[in-house]
A and B are shown apart, each in its own frame.
Chain A
Amino acid sequence: MAVEVADLVIRHIRDVDDETLKGFTCGRDQLDEFLLEDARDYDAHGITSTVVVFVPGRVAPAGYFSLSADSVRLTESEEFELGLPFDAPISYYPAVKLTKLATSFELQSQGLGEAIVELICGLVTEVPFAVRVLTVDAVNQPKVIAFYERVGFVESLADRREKKDQRAPATVLMVRDLYL
């Protein structure tokens, strides 16, 4: 059964106890360990903010995501190539980085990840400051890249150029324009 945005219950990690967090596994040790061992420290130090996701009828977390402020910086020449219909002396586009996204192993391929990304789009446009772009350093695996493409992210060509000498970079920088 597909998970819808309207099904989701979310809480900031500071409002979720450790016992509940222990019920989560996504199948990737690094992401599981981050939630249990690091996410609170990252939050406490202002590095990322983690939100835990639940679905009806399931006490254990269904997923989680972490967000940080980010920016798409422009070179001097790029500032003139933006195509803005007015003069704006900006050196970057305001962005939010999706630093972590994980869904429970038992709930994968049910649309939960897609629903979470939609929810994030709502969250970041709710704040009283501009956010134009979502960014993500996607793990360089076909399934992961395909997921982000499905939810509207495109690969950063600049990132590809910078990594052209790397046979298989660990991550691929992808961006999503919230206005599209």
Chain B
Amino acid sequence: MMSLAMKPAAFQATPQLGPEASRELLQRLGRVRLTDKRRKELADLAAAARAAFARPLPTAANGR
């Protein structure tokens, strides 16, 4: 197995959010709480993710 140190290109220096996030974003984060509607939406998506893991993989007989 090739070591990670040998693959600098794969790391592609990406920026961090840094010590200073945007004030607009932070204030919105602090003032928004999870609503029942959004909680239900996220729960439905979580159920969809579990179902996606549980479904059988497509087989060659079904297509390419």
Contacts and interface: CB of A to CB of B under 8 A. Distances in A.
A8 B56 CA distance: 10
Contact of A5 (B17, B33, B48): B48
Nearest to A39: B10
A156 interface: yes
B15 A173 contact: yes
Contact of A30 (B12, B23, B56): B12
A110 B1 CA distance: 36
Given A121-B42, A157-B25, A175-B25, A78 B59 contact: no
B1 A119 contact: no
A41 interface: yes
Contacts of B30: 81-84
A81 B38 contact: no
Interface residues of B, number: 52
A179 B39 CA distance: 8
B21 A74 contact: yes
A9 B57 contact: yes
Given A56-B58, A157-B25, A180-B38, A163 B52 contact: no
Contacts of A57: 58, 62-63
B38 A179 contact: yes
A11 B56 CA distance: 10
Contact of A11 (B35, B53, B64): B53
A100 to B, nearest CB: 10
A82 B27 contact: yes
Contact of B10 (A34, A84, A118): A34
Nearest to B3: A41
A168 interface: no
A83 B27 contact: yes
Given A38-B7, A55-B58, A137 B21 contact: no
Interface of B: 1-2, 4, 7, 9-10, 12-35, 38, 42-53, 55-60, 62-64
Interface of A: 5-6, 8-11, 30, 33-34, 37-38, 41-42, 44-45, 47, 54-60, 70-75, 78, 81-85, 93, 95, 118-119, 121-123, 125-126, 132-133, 135, 137, 154, 156-159, 161-163, 169-171, 173, 175, 177-180
- 3 closest Cβ pairs, A-B complex: A122-B45, A82-B30, A83-B30
